[in-house]
Each structure stands twice: as C-alpha cells, then as structure tokens.
Chains A and B, each alone.
Chain A
Amino acid sequence: MSSILQSPTTAPGRFGPYGGRYVPETLMVPLFELERAYEIAKSDPSFQAQFQDLLKNFAGRPTPLQFASRLTEKLGGPRIYLKREDLLHTGAHKINNAIGQALLAVKMGKPRIVAETGAGQHGVASATVAAHFGLECVVYMGTEDMARQALNVARMRMLGAQVVGVDSGSRTLKDAINEAMRDWVTNVRTTHYLLGSVLGAHPYPTMVRDFQSVIGREAREQILAAEKRLPTHLIACVGGGSNAIGLFHNFLRDTDVKMIGIEAGGRGGQLGEHAARLAAAQGFTGARPGVLQGTYTYVLQNEDGQIATTHSISAGLDYPAIGPEHAWLADQRRAEYSAVSDQAALDAARLLSRTEGIIPALESAHAIAGLIERVPKISKDSLVILNLSGRGDKDMDTYSRLL
C-alpha cells in the first residue's frame, strides 16, 4: 500500500494517488465508452447549449447567493452568504449532475438508467430526468433509508421510477451502490449508471464534478458582484462530496480562499458510529486509503480490509468512503475537513430555520453546524459562502421526532 501512495501516476482519472478504475472487467469497456462520450460532449456546443438550457429552464438556475443577515448577526462573526441550491427543482444540487448524465445517456442510446440513492435526493433527481427524457428508471435504496426518507420514495414512484429496497449490509447508501452496480453489470448494454456523487470509477468523479461546478462558477460571479471581493471561506457538507467539490472547483487556484468540508460525526469517534473519513485529528477512527466501489480513496474499514458500517442521522452523508479528489485536496492541505455530530446538525437546522426562514436538509445542516463551530476562529471581516445543498422537506419526520 505504501508503494502505491508513493508512486506517481499518470493514469487517467487520478487525483494524486487517489481515484482510478477498480471494477469487474465487464464494466471496463462501458466506462471507456462513457469517458469518450463525455469528452465529446464537453466540447460539443449543441450538448452544452442543451445542458445550459435545461439548467436554466428546467432546474431553475442560476440559484441565488443570499446574504444571511440574521444568521450573520446571530453568530456575530464573518459575513455569511448562502448558495441556495435548495431552491432548485427537486430540492437539491443533485439535479445538476442528473441532467448532465441523462443527456449523455440519450447521446449514448441507452434507454434505461439505474441509480443509487441515500437521502433520496439523487433518486428523485434521477427519476425526474428519466421522466423528462422518457427513460426507464430503477433506483436502488437501502431499506433503512427508505424508512427515514419516505417522502422521497413516494416522489420517485410518482415520477414513474421503480424503487428497489436493498436489505443487505447496513441497508444504506453503500449497499444501494453495490446493488446498482450489480444491475449495471448485468444490463450494461442497455443501461447507463447515473451515479450521484464524485465517487466510483473514472470518469465519474471528474464528470460529476464538472456537472456540479456550475455552483462555484455562479457563486464566484455573484460574490464579486455583491462584495467586490472573493470569499475568504467556502464551506459545504461532504458525503461523497459532490456539492462541496461543485462549490470548491472554481476557487482551487485562489489559494487565499479556504475550503472546508464537513463530514458526519454521527454519535462519536468509534468505528461504526460515524461517517468521518478525513477527521482523524478529531478522534474519528478507522479511515485508511483503500478500494471501494471502483475508486481508491479514504475508506472506513477494519484491519482486514472489510468495509465498516457507518452511522449518520443524515442518509446522504452515511457512507464509508469519500470522493477521491477530496482525499487528494486533504493530503495537499488545499481543503480541510472536520466532522460534526448528529446533535450539532439538528441544532443547526433549527437555528437556520428560525433565523433565516429556511429549513435545510440534514446534510446541509452539517455544513451550518461546522460553520457555527468555526465562527470563533474566523475573523469578523471574513466572508463565507456556505453551500445550502438541499431543502429539508424530506427530513421533517426526523426533525419533528427529535426537535
């Protein structure tokens, strides 16, 4: 393992030592085809025009960058702006990527898509684009997640998608991805796997990042227009990490802009109680580089290389691996990562609801909690953009039970 970490590589889809393509052979040629289709689409003006048109007229972009005046006042620290991805059609940033990949599926002549979902936001986005393009759609979802995100299950079914419950392992996102990959490997000739985060084998981490990077492109223009300067801090929650990388990507060269990813600290630092892959400094144990579901990255696992179960109150963050680009940004210290507890996320959700009139998704509430914990360390003249990645309707059961 150490030699892998040390050996520089020029293989496609690598972020430093992380990333790559670790899949059964059956998927290799389909991944090459996807990579090629994506490369062509990137420089195809008609694809880009169609993508931009759908982002604007179907999804509702650009999303506002809202100055959170009462939250700023309440916390008494830096000026805080919210990137309002929660206002997008279907209620989260996931639709950006789903539109891009559905367009690709159509270009590749694949009449069927499969997707995994944790919180159900990516499942709803996938079901939505499938309906919009007339594609067959099957969404795999852990039965534990189906119970805690029942509203999204109903939405997917309303949209005509088949939702398949996954009863293996911890019955959460990781198990849903296993099952989606099994479907894909079986039906690969007719099916596109619409992976929802910056995870999996190349080209997914790069492609999903590119589709999500519209978040940071808009935010950059918007903050320059509003404040005549770049932000000092970007903050976002990180499950696989697609909303975070979407915000970060266009600021990577601005080395004065600090980037902060907030992971799910769950109930504590012991392996099995959290989903924090890059927060060892805070005492969250069990993460080491390894291979899971197509990519080499930090993975929560035991000494024998068996993948650990995870816990988070947030289904969307409840996953044992992190996107490989985040692993690299962490190693490079270009971005920093820390975790907040279930309880801190719940408290933050209530605070945002009552100061700004916005009920956030539990995932996004982790970013708010991370900001709250950091405020004392951030100077008052700082300028923060927080990615409010999704809205909280789907989490009302949990909120009304626990708050």
Chain B
Amino acid sequence: MSGIAANSTRISKRFAELRASGEMGIVAYITAGDPSLDATLKYMLALAEAGADVIELGVPFSDPLADGPTIQRASERALKSGTTLAGVLGLVHRIRQSSQVPLVLFSYYNPILQMGLEKFASAAESAGADGVLATDLTPEESEEYRRILAAHHLDTIFLGAPTSTDERLAKIAGCSSGFLYLISRTGVTGAKDALPDDLPALLRRARSVTQLPIAVGFGISLPGHVSVLGGLADAAVVGSALVSEIERAKSVEAGAVALAEHVRALKEAARHGLSRREAPMHRGGVAP
C-alpha cells in the first residue's frame, strides 16, 4: 500500500487538499467524555471550525501506559463521567449530523477487543469514523484487526517511533492507511519545550520508505513547534496542550473558545509550513 490510501477516506482527501494548497495540517487530539460527551461534542465542533484538519478522539482507558499525566487525568475524568467505547461511537454519530471533519478514534486495544473487532468496526463505520489508531497494537499483532477494519473502510493508522528501524518503518507504513503517525521522541504523550534534535533525521527516514502523509506527534504544543516542522512533516498532532485547555476551562463555553484560539494559532503557523519545504531547518524557530 503506497501513496494516498486506496480507499479514499475523508482523511486521505484532506491530506490531498493540504498538499495541493501547500499547507501543513493540524491534527487535534482530545479525550472523549472529558468532562462529558456533550462537552466533547461542543469541543470537537469548535476545533473543526477553528481549522483542525483531523480530530483524534481519545477513547479513555483505565491504564493509559503510553500517556503522560495530562492525558491520564483526562482519561480518569472521562471514565468517572461514565464514558464507554459505545458512548464514544454514539458521539461520532452525533458530530456527523453537523460536521464532516476527518475523525480518528485513538484507543488502547483492550476496549476494542472486548467489544469485538467485527462489531467495533461495523459500528465505527456506520457512526462515521474514518480511521482507528490503537496505541498498544503493532503490525505484528494486528493482521485480523487490519483485515476487518479495511473491510469496513476504516483507515488503520500505526505509530512509528524513533527506535523503529528503517525496515520497521517500512512495515508500519505498509500496514497504515490515511497517514503515518510518527512519534517525535521516546516517551509518553505530553507537552515539552523543545523538539528533539534527531527529529529531522527520523522524518527523513520515514519519508524515504513511504508516500503516505506523515503526522508528527508527542511533545508538540506551540506554534513554534509547528513552524519548525514546516517542510518536514505533513501534519502536527497536538494533544496534551489542548487537553490542558479543557482542564483549565471554567466552563464548557470557555473551553471551546480556548481550544479554538489555540488551534487557530497552530493553523497560522502551519499555513506557512510547506512553503519552507526543502529549506534548511532552523532549530527553535518561532512562528513567523
């Protein structure tokens, strides 16, 4: 599988549009049900309206071992409010009444496995989800998962990491559709001040093994980070920084405003992104 995914989902279309207009994409992550599914619906609409190109909707899990403190706390709040995978799929259905923003479900594997792969894929498709990323699932353990999700026209997005060899990056990209999610550094999710020095090299390695769009995540929070990725990545994934806005907000309305502002600032930096393609890297640069 190479190039834009064979099954032309909302995700592939959006990346094709971004490429055509020379823009970098912003993938916005929030945890579903934090603090309630109704609030998440409002947040998603605010994110989409502010220009988020893809929304990653986190399915809360009791043991989020790939997540840092910010998303751990969001998962706890979401579980406390009674959020289930079935509830998250219901939310996807609701947002599709008013928005066609590309949607990726971001989950740990066990909730999906317990629902049953076939039942999950069928429900996700009919709700209107576009892709799925399971944090603790790699190509080796995912043959059946990929087959079933593909049959339901869902993109399967896998993670590439700084520790992945070139051979593995090729394998991961081969199992992915929609885009390849590249982890910027070894570690868990969470905002950091600076991007790692070896990120450009990792991006070049990934670029050499796939034609898929590449989104970079983990540790990206500021317009400056997005700016630095210009010309290197097709999209930046921002998660913990947005979840922090939700955590800080005094009300759902205030949270929606803060999310929208944050995404607009990121988008502003991203619009200047691809103009710098092939240009030399300027480390630590800020948004122009």
- Residue ranges of A at the interface with B (Cβ–Cβ < 8 Å): 1-4, 7, 11, 20-30, 168-169, 174, 177-178, 181-182, 185-189, 288, 290-294, 299, 301, 303-307
Q: Tell me the bound Cα distance from A29 to B64 in angstroms.
A: 21
Q: Which of B108, B112, B165, B168 is the most central at the interface, judged by chain A CB atoms within 10 Å of its CB? A: B108
Contact between B86 and A291, CB atoms less than 8 A apart = no
**B116 interface hit (Cβ, 8 Å):** yes
**B113 interface hit (Cβ, 8 Å):** yes
Contact between B168 and A307, CB atoms less than 8 A apart = no
Q: Tell me the bound Cα distance from A307 to B137 in angstroms.
A: 17
Q: Tell me the bound Cα distance from A26 to B199 in angstroms.
A: 14
**B114 interface hit (Cβ, 8 Å):** yes
Q: Tell me the bound Cα distance from A7 to B145 in angstroms.
A: 13
Contact between B168 and A303, CB atoms less than 8 A apart = no
Minimum CB–CB distance from B201 to chain A (whole Å) comes to 15
Contact between B110 and A21, CB atoms less than 8 A apart = no
The residue in chain B whose Cβ has the minimal distance to the Cβ of A188 is B186
Minimum CB–CB distance from A378 to chain B (whole Å) comes to 38
List B residues 155-194 near A (Cβ within 8 Å): 158-165, 168, 172, 183, 186-188
Q: Which of A22, A182, A189 contacts B137 (CB 8 A)?
A: A22
Q: Which of A24, A30, A177, A189 is the most central at the interface, judged by chain B CB atoms within 10 Å of its CB? A: A24
Q: Tell me the bound Cα distance from A187 to B160 in angstroms.
A: 17
Selected interface stretch from B65-73, B92-100, B227-235: B65-73
Minimum CB–CB distance from B149 to chain A (whole Å) comes to 14
Given contacts A11-B140, A28-B168, A178-B63, contact A304 B163 (CB under 8 A): no
Contact between B111 and A24, CB atoms less than 8 A apart = no
Q: Could you give, for residues 124-158 of chain B, a 1 whenever the CB lies within 8 Å of some chain A CB and a 0 otherwise? A: 00000000000111101100100000000000001
Given contacts A29-B163, A186-B188, contact A301 B114 (CB under 8 A): yes
**B84 interface hit (Cβ, 8 Å):** yes
Q: Tell me the bound Cα distance from A243 to B187 in angstroms.
A: 32
Contact between A181 and B65, CB atoms less than 8 A apart = yes
Q: Tell me the bound Cα distance from A162 to B108 in angstroms.
A: 30
Given contacts A186-B187, A290-B110, A305-B114, contact A24 B62 (CB under 8 A): no
The residue in chain A whose Cβ has the minimal distance to the Cβ of B83 is A304
Note all chain B residues with C-beta closer than 8 A to A28.
138, 140, 161, 163-164, 168
Note all chain B residues with C-beta closer than 8 A to A294.
136
Note all chain A residues with C-beta closer than 8 A to B162.
26
Q: Tell me the bound Cα distance from A241 to B66 in angstroms.
A: 25
Minimum CB–CB distance from B89 to chain A (whole Å) comes to 12
14 contacts between A and B (CB under 8 A): A4-B144, A11-B140, A22-B137, A26-B163, A29-B168, A30-B163, A182-B65, A294-B136, A305-B113, A306-B62, A306-B79, A307-B62, A307-B63, A307-B110
Contact between B65 and A29, CB atoms less than 8 A apart = no
Q: Tell me the bound Cα distance from A168 to B66 in angstroms.
A: 14
Contact between A24 and B163, CB atoms less than 8 A apart = no
Minimum CB–CB distance from A203 to chain B (whole Å) comes to 14
Note all chain A residues with C-beta closer than 8 A to B136.
22-24, 291, 294
Contact between B138 and A25, CB atoms less than 8 A apart = yes
Q: Tell me the bound Cα distance from A30 to B116 in angstroms.
A: 30
Q: Tell me the bound Cα distance from A247 to B137 in angstroms.
A: 32
Please provide the 10 A-B residue pairs with the shortest distance between their CB atoms, ordered closest to farther.
Answer: A305-B114, A305-B111, A26-B161, A186-B187, A25-B159, A25-B161, A304-B84, A306-B62, A305-B110, A178-B65
Note all chain B residues with C-beta closer than 8 A to A25.
138, 158-161, 163-164, 168, 172, 183
- Residue ranges of B at the interface with A (Cβ–Cβ < 8 Å): 61-66, 68, 72, 76, 79, 84-86, 108-117, 135-138, 140-141, 144, 158-165, 168, 172, 183, 186-188
Q: Which of B79, B113, B135, B144 contacts A24 (CB 8 A)?
A: B135
Minimum CB–CB distance from B191 to chain A (whole Å) comes to 14
Given contacts A11-B140, A182-B68, contact A174 B159 (CB under 8 A): no
Note all chain B residues with C-beta closer than 8 A to A27.
163
The residue in chain B whose Cβ has the minimal distance to the Cβ of A30 is B163
Contact between B144 and A185, CB atoms less than 8 A apart = no
Q: Which of A2, A177, A185, A293 is the most central at the interface, judged by chain B CB atoms within 10 Å of its CB? A: A185
Contact between A291 and B66, CB atoms less than 8 A apart = no
Contact between B117 and A3, CB atoms less than 8 A apart = yes
Minimum CB–CB distance from A308 to chain B (whole Å) comes to 8
Note all chain A residues with C-beta closer than 8 A to B164.
25, 28-29
Given contacts A182-B68, A303-B114, contact A22 B141 (CB under 8 A): yes
Q: Tell me the bound Cα distance from A294 to B65 in angstroms.
A: 10
The residue in chain A whose Cβ has the minimal distance to the Cβ of B107 is A305
Q: Tell me the bound Cα distance from A26 to B109 in angstroms.
A: 16
Q: Tell me the bound Cα distance from A28 to B162 in angstroms.
A: 11
Q: Tell me the bound Cα distance from A307 to B183 in angstroms.
A: 26
Contact between A291 and B109, CB atoms less than 8 A apart = yes
The residue in chain A whose Cβ has the minimal distance to the Cβ of B163 is A29
The residue in chain B whose Cβ has the minimal distance to the Cβ of A309 is B62
Minimum CB–CB distance from A171 to chain B (whole Å) comes to 13
Q: Which of B79, B113, B138, B188 contacts A290 (CB 8 A)?
A: B113
Minimum CB–CB distance from B152 to chain A (whole Å) comes to 15
Contact between A185 and B110, CB atoms less than 8 A apart = no
Minimum CB–CB distance from A271 to chain B (whole Å) comes to 13
Q: Which of A23, A186, A306 is the most central at the interface, judged by chain B CB atoms within 10 Å of its CB? A: A306
Contact between B85 and A304, CB atoms less than 8 A apart = yes
Note all chain B residues with C-beta closer than 8 A to A4.
113, 144
Note all chain A residues with C-beta closer than 8 A to B163.
25-30, 188-189
Q: Tell me the bound Cα distance from A22 to B76 in angstroms.
A: 22
Q: Tell me the bound Cα distance from A1 to B159 in angstroms.
A: 23
The residue in chain A whose Cβ has the minimal distance to the Cβ of B183 is A26
Contact between B172 and A288, CB atoms less than 8 A apart = no
Note all chain A residues with C-beta closer than 8 A to B68.
182
Q: Which of A11, A30, A186 is the most central at the interface, judged by chain B CB atoms within 10 Å of its CB? A: A186
Minimum CB–CB distance from B151 to chain A (whole Å) comes to 13
Contact between B114 and A23, CB atoms less than 8 A apart = no
Contact between B144 and A3, CB atoms less than 8 A apart = yes
Given contacts A305-B85, A306-B79, contact A23 B109 (CB under 8 A): no
Q: Tell me the bound Cα distance from A110 to B162 in angstroms.
A: 18
Note all chain B residues with C-beta closer than 8 A to A185.
65-66, 186-188
Contact between B114 and A290, CB atoms less than 8 A apart = yes
Minimum CB–CB distance from B52 to chain A (whole Å) comes to 24
Q: Which of B65, B84, B112, B186 contacts A189 (CB 8 A)?
A: B186
